[in-house]
Amino acid sequence: MDVHERVPPSPAARSLEVPRLRATSSAFDGRPGLPDARGRALRDLRISVTDRCNFRCPYCMPAEVFGRDFAFLPKGEVLSFEEIARLAAIFVDLGVHKLRITGGEPLTRRDLPVLVRYLADLRTADDQPVDLTLTTNGSALGALAGPLAEAGLARITVSLDSLDDAVFGRMNGVDFPVARVLDGIAAARSAGLSPIKINTVVRRGMNEDAVLPLARWAHDEGLILRFIEYMDVGHTNGWRLDDVVPATEILAMIDAEMPLEPAEPGYRGEVAGRYRYRDASGEVGVIASVTRPFCGDCTRARLSADGSLYTCLFAVAGTDLRGPMRAGATDDELADLVAGVWGVRSDRYSELRSAATVALPKVEMHSLGG
């Protein structure tokens, strides 16, 4: 039986069903792009600058697997900033207009503002600046928000799974205090990074009680909050369907206290289902990859820290770009390689998710950049 059939929404949540976005979305920007085998244009590139992280979140890098002796990538196998910038420029030439810096934890990469400066200079085919953003756990944001903004970073997303220190400590796996992340968010606001988005992965039995406190806090602070269903990325996180808190259940919790109404997607390929507060005081979103997959509008490619191109978060394998690049491939040759991979892309893991697909070999999320 398919996962979507086995996670029905609760009766209280049925009025706020999460929409399945389709390729006919009226919010599509209309610009041409490189299509894959299902007609999905290449629009977004997520760039992992490191596979290392200072947190050990159980849904991504559980401490019992990624311990002190875990072998991360040697320095020589990680793309240099110049190599990342070169590949990013090629992707932008192919139609990408949004770049997201990820990890691991990207702020553990030394001199990251240097890369931000390179990427901020890129312009799309219609001579617009790229939409440059970054996802971080916020642990080093207090010190780096200013330099990142000065280098050209436009906005930022911070992962925050609870406001309660005990719960947050269990979720980050290293007892990192909430206050330090909140200080980082304040620093980002002071630096002019806007909008600031907050990502929260919800896992049953761990932090579903954090939903309402986070919603109240983000509402009062004027922050955009996105709740993410716990996903079966990689194999080390012990994913079970029973641990998934469906997006409809999350919406019902919030709607009962702060009434919501559906909002239109901002653009084709937006992964979050958006909802406005009925008092016109902001919005909240849910990313329902498990219960309401959005494969049909997925426009995202991923570049791993070691220079592999992945066309799906649930990928089995990637395509090496670092090897050809270091062997002397020209920009045109690299562009042809990317176009060839994307042109035959037919990934739709979340639409097909079943016992058979969940068991497929997959790459761990810390390598892909989430």
> Topology of domain 3-368, per CATH?
TIM Barrel (3.20.20)
Considering only the C-alpha atoms of the chain, give the largest distance between any 2 of them, rounded to a whole number of Å.
Answer: 59
Reported pTM: 0.86
pLDDT tens track for 164-222: 999 999 999 999 999 999 999 999 999 999 999 999 999 999 999 999 999 999 999 99
In degrees rounded to 5, what are phi and psi of residue 152?
Answer: 120, 5
pLDDT band at residue 237 using 50, 70 and 90 as cut-offs: low
Residues 6+ apart with CB under 8 A from 305: 48, 49, 50, 51, 73, 78, 79, 103, 104, 367, 369
Where are the extended beta strands (E) located within 125-262? 131-136, 155-159, 196-202, 224-229, 260-262
What is the helix (H) or strand (E) element at residue 47, kind and residue range?
A: strand 44-48
Confidence check: pLDDT of 361 > 60: no
Q: What is the pLDDT of residue 49?
A: 98
Q: What is the pLDDT of residue 277?
A: 94
Tell me if 243 sits within 8 A of 203, measured CB to CB: yes
Confidence check: pLDDT of 7 > 50: no
pLDDT band at residue 10 using 50, 70 and 90 as cut-offs: very low
Domain boundaries, the chain: 3-368
Q: Which two tokens stand for residue 252?
A: 């019902």
pLDDT band at residue 21 using 50, 70 and 90 as cut-offs: very low
Using DSSP, state whether 215 is helix, strand or coil: helix
Please state, in angstroms and rounded to a whole number, the distance separating the CA atoms of residues 308 and 83. Answer: 12
Report the percent of the chain where pLDDT is more than 70: 84
Confidence check: pLDDT of 227 > 50: yes
